[in-house]
């Protein structure tokens, strides 16, 4: 594995960063099973990407045990492990169809599943939620997302947005970088949790008016500029994972 790292430093760096994202997501309680997926496109122009193998918990993911695949699902890693078919189906299709997207994240956290099942979907109650106003898409539940003909519908419904609520299912985010996809998922989950907690009070709640949501989202977009969202926050998450357990970056 050290030889691979020396031969392709960019791939190894992507492996370490994606492994850190899995560990951080587990740390924050986004996923505690062997299900759900993240992918990251390799920066070498090959069209190859990294993905977690099925059967390994997110707390066990390392840079070394991530699978390397092509868009047809061929495994290019020297591994007996395999990816989950549903995750491979639509994650690979998104990366193939959207060359500006370099990372995808899909999870089933409780607060996201609750919002995905509510009529009316996500509502906006606070300043932080406004960061994703206008960036939330929806996809109707069709069963396990492993059928090839569903992937184009997911891509169509996602459009040019960064986040998706998969109805009666879970959440999906994409990003130009791993940090951007992670940041959008963090913001989407926070907005879902805020709504769930507010509704649980049983007290009439005051939503942020549409025009104020639009104005606040525009203010945030102007402050961000054209840079990928959340790069400073992502570096903080990376530092935290290295402090808590640096084993995600091990070579074997």
Q: What are phi and psi of 135, to 5 degrees?
A: -115, 10
Mean pLDDT of the chain: 93
The domains located in the chain, with CATH, are 2-249 (3.40.225.10)
Mean pLDDT along residues 48-54: 95
The per-residue pLDDT for range 131-158, each reduced to its tens digit, is 999 999 999 999 887 777 899 999 999 9
List the one residue out of 199, 84, 211, 185 whose CA is nearest residue 132: 185
Helix or strand holding residue 250 (H, E):
none
Quote the crossing angle between the two packed helices 231-244 and 178-200, to the nearest 10°. Answer: 90
What residues have CB less than 8 Å from 16, skipping those under 6 apart? 63, 248, 249
CA separation for the pair 77, 80 (Å, rounded): 9
Q: How confident is the model at residue 49 (pLDDT cuts 50, 70, 90)?
A: very high
161 C-beta neighbours (distance < 10 Å), count = 16
Query: Which DSSP symbol is given to 60?
Result: G
Buried b vs exposed e over 197-220: b needs ≥16 C-beta within 10 Å?
Answer: ebeeeeeeeeebeeeebeebbeeb
Q: How confident is the model at residue 87 (pLDDT cuts 50, 70, 90)?
A: confident
pTM of the model: 0.94
Q: What are phi and psi of 20, to 5 degrees?
A: -65, -35
């Amino acid at each position: 594995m050290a030889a691979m790292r020396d031969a392709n430093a960019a791939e190894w760096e992507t492996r370490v960063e994606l492994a850190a994202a899995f560990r951080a997501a587990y740390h924050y309680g986004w996923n505690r099973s062997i299900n759900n997926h993240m992918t990251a496109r390799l920066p070498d122009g090959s069209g190859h990407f990294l993905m977690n193998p099925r059967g390994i918990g997110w707390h066990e993911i390392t840079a070394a045990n991530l699978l390397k695949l092509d868009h047809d699902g061929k495994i290019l890693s020297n591994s007996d492990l395999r990816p989950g078919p549903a995750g491979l189906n639509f994650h690979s299709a998104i990366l193939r169809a959207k060359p500006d997207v370099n990372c995808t994240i899909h999870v089933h956290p409780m607060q996201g599943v609750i919002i995905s099942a509510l009529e009316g979907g996500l509502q906006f109650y606070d300043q932080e939620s406004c960061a994703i106003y206008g960036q939330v898409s929806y996809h109707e539940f069709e069963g396990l997302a492993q059928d090839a003909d569903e992937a184009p519908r997911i891509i169509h419904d996602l459009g040019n947005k960064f986040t998706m609520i998969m109805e009666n299912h879970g959440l999906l985010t994409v990003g130009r970088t791993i940090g951007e996809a992670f940041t959008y998922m963090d913001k989407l989950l926070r907005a879902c949790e805020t709504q769930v907690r507010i509704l649980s009070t049983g007290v009439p709640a005051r939503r942020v008016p549409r025009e104020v949501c639009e104005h606040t989202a525009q203010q945030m977009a102007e402050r961000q500029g054209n840079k990928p969202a959340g790069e400073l926050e992502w570096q903080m998450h990376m530092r935290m994972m290295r402090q808590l357990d640096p084993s995600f970056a091990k070579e074997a």
